[in-house]
Amino acid sequence: MRPIKLFTPGPTEVPWRVREKMARPLIHHRTAEYRTIQREVIEDLQRFMRTKNPVLLLASSGTGAMEASVVNLTRPGEKVLVTVAGKFSGRWKEIGEAYGLDVVAVEARWGDAVPPEEVARALDENPGVGVVFTTHAETSTGVLQDVKSIATIARERGALVVVDAITSICAEALETDVWGLDIVVGSSQKGVMTPPGLAFLSLSGAARERVERNRERAYYFDLNRALAAYDDGDTPWTPAIGLVTGLNEALKMIGEEGLENVIERHARNARATRAAVRALGLGLLASVPANCTTAVVFEDGNAEAVRKHLYEVYGMRIAGGQAQLKGKIVRLGHLGYYFESDIFTLISGFESTLLDLGVIEAGGRGVQALFGEFHEM
Amino acid sequence: MRPIKLFTPGPTEVPWRVREKMARPLIHHRTAEYRTIQREVIEDLQRFMRTKNPVLLLASSGTGAMEASVVNLTRPGEKVLVTVAGKFSGRWKEIGEAYGLDVVAVEARWGDAVPPEEVARALDENPGVGVVFTTHAETSTGVLQDVKSIATIARERGALVVVDAITSICAEALETDVWGLDIVVGSSQKGVMTPPGLAFLSLSGAARERVERNRERAYYFDLNRALAAYDDGDTPWTPAIGLVTGLNEALKMIGEEGLENVIERHARNARATRAAVRALGLGLLASVPANCTTAVVFEDGNAEAVRKHLYEVYGMRIAGGQAQLKGKIVRLGHLGYYFESDIFTLISGFESTLLDLGVIEAGGRGVQALFGEFHEM
């Protein structure tokens, strides 16, 4: 009877308007009707990613678009640099190694950002790096990476810049063209409020030149095929029609609220969540917090008990820690379709759980703290 | 106002039960609830693909699962054999060449099947072929390939057998284990009545051994990662949750009708469609017709006019010819969720179109012919 609500940093809640759109009879993809939908999706993504670059749609998870970036931009043995401070930024390293690249990894503690000056030093110590791969918002820690500075540093040294913005698109200020980002990767189940299975990436002129020189390095993820089809308003393989249709509606909703308002809503929800966590006497993992998710530290290993109780008793699904953070944190998600009242819902359940489990002695301080952020008092 | 109906061989019509299921609030994938759904999907796919082998789910189009088969089973320079008699069987050749394989192609006219004895001769003339890649039902021509005989021939010569059954699963008799098929590839938007974006493949013990020796040849499509996650009831990347949920419902529907009845319904619909086409005095392309789609030849190039008129005036979407068949055929799709009355709908529109365009002089013979197939008269 009790409804389940997702407060996970991906997949995120999908608005009814999006689900209703996807529930309509399926249309065929080789039609004017589908081409219009796809063109609108691409134009909206360009608008929200702040780019004039082509945006390619891929029927895959975000990881597929990350792999497409690596395999199309690089050649085996090529030197690349990756910033690693969590599970998802570590994925750049894994993919690079799987494709035989010479990977220079600049690492930081999980919970910190990689300092741009360390990227500069590593690039100076390792001449010949062709591409820098970095992560805008690290979902496993809730940390925001200073992509703008890293891009400037990389470009000054002649490297292309590829950004995993899967968890930051429509949630953080992101300036693809102004910052000079060559590839920016996103996916459907995050800030753009659509079910998973659809990824996308933007491609600069410089990236496109590199891709065109790198023919025949992939098939399904061959961006040359995707670009050739793109120029005809098409896709090389059957697209994920239903998901593209859903994304079309989700992006319209974001356009109606206005990108700046959407980002400000995310920032406010994140600030409010952090204020509540602090008021509850708990520690925050992220030294530079992102708007997507708030990682809360449980030194005594209560994390999994909290996560389980919050779901089983209050019907709210939050994420735990991954890899080295397993059992040590919970992640309160507020990425996508979440408004003030949703944050009250989340904190009420979280605080009730802490009370039920005896982690805190009295309830009210967390929810109270939200008022201070959502209202001028 | 007029409803649009798909009579395309993929994507196919998605039943309301499936769309309604997908319209429900999204669930998270790292949960017992999702694991149950995924387990049911896998068990149903095993049942309908007639195999005890593991069935892996991939968030991609069917082409992605084809690529996964090639990249995980083979090594660059390895000799493989492909049967080619259409656009989709030609894809095996393209993927093999993209990955640097030594591809022996046994070709047939588009509209014919590749004779198994030619495969035997090619294998005898080209010793050392490690894998035979073939296509059960060729969607571009509507031809059924004798996969059972090809598999026997390949196995006798020590080669593994990989089958693209994307357009045949739940539409044709397919015996994965009895015929000894090492990998069988399927996708969501065909006989299993779900939107596109989800692919799957079964993997025999021999294929699995080969895959395990071939580590680090891919990342997103790395079947070792998929197998490791599979053993935990999991997927390596975020799955296409909504599509898996939809497929779960679609497979339940197929189970309720019964696999044999579903296949017999497809065979009857295909026979009836062919009878109507013949009664209209038109030619059939396929020498060995499959149950998925009926390709109708228009020697005088009327194909595109028919396709356009049928859509614009009667709201029925059929497919045209692809590549060398462009403008020369139309394909009447009856794959998936189509019953007697749908075939009457399709033929009524098709026949009306031919009458409107002056291709035939009087209407009624096509629809009349359906009675002969659907009823004992």
Beta partners for residue A316, in sequence order: A5
Q: What are the counts of helices (DSSP H) followed by strands (DSSP E) for chain A?
A: 14, 15
Q: What is the dihedral of CA A348, A350, A354, A355, to 10 degrees?
A: 20
Q: pLDDT tens digit string along A174-190?
A: 999 999 999 999 999 99
Q: Which residue of A has its CA nearest to B311?
A: A31
- Min distance B237 CA to chain A CA atoms (Å): 7
Q: By the 8 A CB rule, do A246 and A191 touch? A: no
DSSP result, A132-149? EEEESEETTTTEEP-HHH
Task: Say how far apart CA B64 and CA B61 lie, in whole Å.
Answer: 6
Q: What is the pLDDT of residue B277?
A: 98
C-beta atoms of A219 and B28 within 8 A: no
Number of alpha carbons in the 13 Å side-chain half-sphere of residue A190: 24
Q: Do A14 and B27 touch (CB under 8 A)?
A: no
Listed in sequence order, the residues at least 6 apart from B82 whose beta carbon sits closer than 8 Å to its beta carbon are B89, B92, B93, B96, B103, B104, B105, B106, B132, B133, B134
Question: For residue B112, what are the contacts with CB-CB under 8 A and spacing of at least 6?
Answer: B85, B143, B287, B288
| Chain B residues lying within 8 Å of A197, measured CB to CB | 59, 197-198, 239-243
Cβ pair B195:A98 closer than 8 A: no
Asked if B99's CB is within 8 angstroms of A219's CB, the reply is yes
Q: Measured between CB atoms, which of B26, B61, B220 is closest to A63? A: B220
ipTM at complex level: 0.95
A62 and B23: CB-CB below 8 Å? no
**3-state SS class at A113:** coil
pLDDT in the model for residue B279:
98
Interchain contact, A243 vs B63, CB within 8 Å: no
pLDDT at res. B268: 98
Task: Quote the minimal CA–CA distance from A366 to chain B in Å.
Answer: 26
Using 50, 70 and 90 to split pLDDT, how confident is the model at A303?
very high
Q: What pLDDT, on a 0 to 100 scale, did the predictor assign at position A37? A: 97
**CB-CB under 8 Å, A241 with B195:** yes
* Local structure of B138: helix, strand or coil: strand
Looking at every residue in chain A, the average pLDDT score rounds to 97
At A140-196, the pLDDT tens digits run 999 999 999 999 999 999 999 999 999 999 999 999 999 999 999 999 999 999 999
What are the φ and ψ backbone dihedral angles of B38, each rounded to 5 degrees?
-65, -40
The answer to whether residue A300 scores a pLDDT higher than 80 is no
Give B95's contacts in chain A (Cβ within 8 Å): 219
Tokens at residue B293, please?
A: 């789609």
Which residues of chain A make contact with B317, given a CB cutoff of 8 A?
28, 31
Domains annotated on chain A, with CATH: 5-10+258-374 (3.90.1150.10), 16-256 (3.40.640.10)
pLDDT tens digits for chain B (377 residues)?
Answer: 889 999 999 999 999 999 999 999 999 999 999 999 999 999 999 999 999 999 999 999 999 999 999 999 999 999 999 999 999 999 999 999 999 999 999 999 999 999 999 999 999 999 999 999 999 999 999 999 999 999 999 999 999 999 999 999 999 999 999 999 999 999 999 999 999 999 999 999 999 999 999 876 789 999 999 999 998 889 999 999 999 999 999 999 999 999 999 999 999 999 999 999 999 999 999 999 999 999 999 987 799 999 999 999 999 999 999 999 999 999 999 999 999 999 999 999 999 999 999 999 999 999 999 999 999 87
Are B221 and A216 in contact (CB < 8 Å)? no
Please indicate whether, in this complex, the C-beta atoms of B64 and A61 are within 8 angstroms of each other.
no
Question: Would you call A40 an interface residue with chain B, using a CB distance cutoff of 8 Å?
Answer: no
Minimal CA separation from B124 to chain A, in Å: 30
Q: Which residue of B has its CA nearest to A197?
A: B240
| Across A290-319, average pLDDT | 95
**Exposed/middle/buried for residue B187 (C-beta within 10 Å: 0-12, 13-18, 19+):** buried
Chain B residues within an 8 Å CB radius of A67: 219-220
B373 touches chain A (CB under 8 A): no
Residues of chain B contacting residue A98, judged by C-beta atoms under 8 Å apart = 216, 218-219, 222
Close Cβ partners of A271 (under 8 Å, ≥ 6 residues apart): A373
Interval A248-264 mean pLDDT: 98
The model's pTM? 0.96
Question: Which pLDDT score is estimated for B215?
Answer: 78
